[in-house]
Amino acid sequence: MYVKRNVLSPMGWFTLRYLFWAPFLFLVFYFESFSPLIFINQLQTDLSVFFMQQWISFHIIPVSMIGPDLFFDHGLHLTVVHECNGMAAFLLFLASVLSFPTPGTPKVFYAIVGYFIILFANMVRLIGITYYVIDHPESFALLHEVVGRYVIAGIPLVLFYFFSQHSPRRRRTDKPLEDV
């Protein structure tokens, strides 16, 4: 007699683990009011602000930056806040990596590489929006709310697809149970 041990399919287990990891990571790192490790989110915001300040000081553009605030010559004022730092995209990617049935070493490697790719992509997003808004301030809402968000949301999906196709998988143990 064969009894199936796993009630859920591998995709079912992945989904169940993802539904645990995603909220857990956001509760621990993201929400300002009660996350115990919110300082990591603040460090990520500070890093984004630092890179923006370096970029602005290197280029001669009609933008000044004081702290997290961008001031454009045409009067537009923007602030880099926690939601602009790419941490949400990284936490969603990390939740999917942690949920995937593979050994720990590839998870660590892909999480680190994914972090730097998402950080770079987010900086390109912030700089691109800043650069375009210099000449077209009326386009900020479209660039920020639609284009920028979909691009930064799509990158973790592409990274996870690459991770899932190139990492070793754990073998399923659907061996038949012995008759008693």
Find out whether 121 and 151 touch, Cβ atoms under 8 Å: yes
Dihedral pair phi/psi, residue 102, rounded to 5°: -145, 160
Please indicate, yes or no, if residue 45 is contained in any of the structural domains: yes
Mean pLDDT across 34-53: 92
The range of the structural domain enclosing residue 22 comes to: 10-166
The domain tally of the chain equals: 1
| Percent of all residues in the chain with a pLDDT value above 90, rounded to a whole number | 49
Distance separating alpha carbons of residues 137 and 132, to the nearest angstrom:
8
In a domain, 104, yes or no: yes
Query: Would you say residue 62 lies in a domain?
Result: yes
Residue 14 is assigned to a structural domain of this protein: yes
- Nearest CA to 32 among 85, 97, 105? 85
Rounded to two decimals, the pTM is 0.84
Position 94 confidence tier, pLDDT thresholds 50, 70, 90: very high
Q: Would you call 50 exposed, middle or buried from its count of C-beta atoms within 10 A (0-12, 13-18, 19+)?
A: exposed
Could you tell me if residue 2 is inside a domain? Answer: no
| 160 located within any domain | yes
Give the model's pLDDT for residue 71: 92
Helix then strand count (H, E) for the chain reads 6, 3
* Confidence class for position 61, pLDDT limits 50, 70, 90: confident
Across the chain, mean pLDDT equals 87
**Residue at 107 is within a domain:** yes
Q: Is residue 178 part of a domain?
A: no
Whether residue 75 is predicted with pLDDT greater than 50 in this model: the reply is yes
